Amino acid sequence: MIIGQEWIIIAVIAVILIFGAKKLPELARSIGRARGEFERGKIEVEKELKEVETSKPTKETLMKIAKDLGIETEGKSEEEIRQEIAKKVG
């Protein structure tokens, strides 16, 4: 049974056979750039999620969310509406 390092060696040999030894550095750079872009995108999405979690929506946004969820808003404070939205969402 082939495990661990043997798979890596087989993969490297397969890549050399498929792409050629001269293309290997270019391939490695492309993979590195793609991974970097992915990490930057991931960090940006996490940052935006934190901002949304920590910010309070405006009253207009709160009313729109409540309306979309079918929550009656008339005569209720913003905090009561927030609580009902939280209950409805889960």
Q: Residues 13-72: pLDDT tens digits?
A: 888 888 888 888 888 899 999 999 999 999 988 887 677 567 777 788 888 888 888 989
How far apart (Å, rounded) are the C-alpha atoms in residues 21 and 49?
A: 43
Tokens representing 53 are 């979690």
Q: 84, 66 in Cβ contact below 8 A?
A: yes
- CA-nearest of 59, 52, 49 to 79 is 59
Reported pTM: 0.44
Residue 1: pLDDT above 60?
no
